[in-house]
Amino acid sequence: MSHPANAIGEKVLEVYKKENPSTYKIEEDHAAFEKLRIFADDLYTHSLKLLPRVFNGADLLEFGSGTGERSLAYLRWGAKCTFVDMNEEAIARARFLFEKFEPSAQYEFVRGELFNYRSERLYDITASCGVIHHTDDKAAAFAHQVSFLKPGGINILGIGSAAGSIQRNLQRHIIYTFAGRDEEAIQRVANDLFEEHLDRAEKLGGRARKAVIFDTYVNPRMDFVSVADIVSWHRQNGLKLFTSWPPVTPAVLADNLANRTDLRAFPEVLSNPEWLWATQKGDDSEFLAEMEIRVAPFNSAFRELADSINDVRAEQLNPTEILGEVERCRELADVRHDRTLRDIRGLGPWLDEVATVMQAIERKDYEGTRDAVLACKHLFRGRQGIGLNYFVGIKE
């Protein structure tokens, strides 16, 4: 029996046949090829802690492989891959790229939609990237993906978060308010209101401007997810959350046997980074440089407190000195870490700008909305949030 999400899948396919979002001309541009190669190494090895040898010889099933540029990494690392995609044009390009760059790799293609894939085979690794949020039932899509996973196997999920994508969703709301679903009107309004975003995406992402517009605004389904949902999906389908990028595991864990703690029991704690994803504007190094200055006084004072009690005999301790160090730490701790973060990230002004834009939209005032959008200093600037998150789970 087919799944009702197939109707959405067909509409998404129509858009992708007009403008495929995953096409990068890596066969013509060595720099583009290297950029994707480095991205894969950084993401999987350094961020998600999946070393290349994890893929070597592994049976891997990927849903939504598209035109194959990003899937090349799995073949490069020696995985034996089954790629499922519903776009025959994308499959044709992927075959071309695989034969050109990894001619000795082992792989097969299955043309079809995620929910309709059937197999008795279980895999060492299951994966999808930027696929599930285009379906009509995210939880069912996730469950179907991991149903093909062996016990002890690894699931890789790339998906947009509702918080990280709030600015893109707000853009879609603005565009549909004034352009409806007319593709020409969508392109016109997007270029008028969000030129900075499109310029940046085109320059840094390496995709054609029209492909960005179709993927982000014309696409009929962009249904993102919360961390709480992700945690729930893992629990319901018998997976332990292993790693994520950006991280959700809080930097407050100090148990040297932390594996005894089931993080799936604390979805709200793991959800704390969501507001950070929503307000991401520049590179992390920009925020870290300012944060380094702000947190240094307390950290330095706390180190001095620890050193004052370190490696001494009781008779050498000076209680008055230690009390002085404690009092200094207490004074500096009044500037709480999370408040410092909110200040650095401009959360207050960002929320104010969201309200201003929404008020203009409510009036159906295009010029007023345009003025509000262009006046923003935080909202719709730079990265505009985190567009895609990655979660790795292990089947119990």
Of 95-99, 281-285, 333-337, 366-370, least confident by mean pLDDT is 333-337
Q: Which two tokens stand for residue 111?
A: 């043309």
pLDDT digits (tens, 9 = 90+) for 138-149: 999 999 999 999
6 pLDDT above the threshold of 50: yes
Rounded CA-CA distance 3/382 in Å is 38
**pLDDT at position 1:** 36
**Span 261-265, mean pLDDT?**
89
pLDDT interval class at 259 (50, 70, 90): low
Of 95-109, 112-126, 172-186, 313-327, least confident by mean pLDDT is 313-327
Average pLDDT score, the chain: 92
Rounded CA-CA distance 67/44 in Å is 20
Beta-sheet strand order (sheet of 389-395): 107-111, 80-85, 59-63, 123-129, 149-159, 389-395, 239-245
Give the number of other Cβ atoms within 10 Å of residue 322's Cβ.
13
pLDDT interval class at 2 (50, 70, 90): very low
Rounded CA-CA distance 209/199 in Å is 8
Query: Cβ contacts of residue 41 below 8 Å, gap of 6+?
Result: 73
**Span 341-364, mean pLDDT?**
94
pLDDT interval class at 130 (50, 70, 90): very high
**Span 7-28, mean pLDDT?**
77
Rounded CA-CA distance 99/270 in Å is 42
**Span 321-343, mean pLDDT?**
86
**pLDDT at position 257:** 62
pLDDT digits (tens, 9 = 90+) for 227-237: 999 999 999 99
User: Is 225 in contact with 133 (CB distance < 8 Å)?
Assistant: yes
Using alpha carbons, select from 222, 145, 160, 130 the residue that is nearest to residue 393.
Answer: 145
Query: Cβ contacts of residue 321 below 8 Å, gap of 6+?
Result: 308
**pLDDT at position 338:** 77
212 pLDDT above the threshold of 60: yes
Cα separation values, 278 from 135, 175, 221, 348, 387, Å: 22, 19, 20, 12, 9
Domain spans of the chain, in order of start: 5-164+222-274+386-395, 166-221+346-375, 284-345
117 pLDDT above the threshold of 90: yes
Please state which architecture CATH assigns to domain 5-164+222-274+386-395. Answer: 3-Layer(aba) Sandwich (3.40)
**pLDDT at position 3:** 55
**pLDDT at position 138:** 96
**pLDDT at position 78:** 98
7 pLDDT above the threshold of 80: no
User: Is 284 in contact with 301 (CB distance < 8 Å)?
Assistant: no
244 DSSP β-pair partners: 391
**pLDDT at position 333:** 85
pLDDT digits (tens, 9 = 90+) for 274-310: 999 999 999 999 999 999 999 999 999 999 999 988 8
Report the percent of the chain where pLDDT is more than 90.
76
Of 60-74, 212-226, 328-342, least confident by mean pLDDT is 328-342
317 pLDDT above the threshold of 80: yes
**Span 64-84, mean pLDDT?**
96
**pLDDT at position 255:** 77
Residue type, 390: Y
Tell me the three-class secondary structure of the chain, residue by residue.
CCCCHHHHHHHHHHHHHHCCCCCCCCCCCHHHHHHHHHHHHHHHHHHCCCCHHHCCCCEEEEECCCCCCCCHHHHHCCCEEEEEECCHHHHHHHHHHHHHHCCCCCEEEEECCHHHCCCCCCEEEEEEECCHHHCCCHHHHHHHHHCCEEEEEEEEEEECECCCCHHHHHHHHHHHHHHCCCHHHHHHHHHHHCHHHHHHHHHHHCCCHHHHHHHHHHCCCCCCECHHHHHHHHHHCCEEEEEEECCCCCCCCCCCCHHHCCHHHCHHHHCCCHHHHHHCCCCHHHHHHHHHHHHHHHHHHHHHHHHHCCCCCHHHCCHHHHHHHHHHHHHHCCCCHHHHHHHHHCHHHHHHHHHHHHHHHHCCCHHHHHHHHHHCCCCCCCCCCCCCEEEEEEEC
Residue type, 393: G
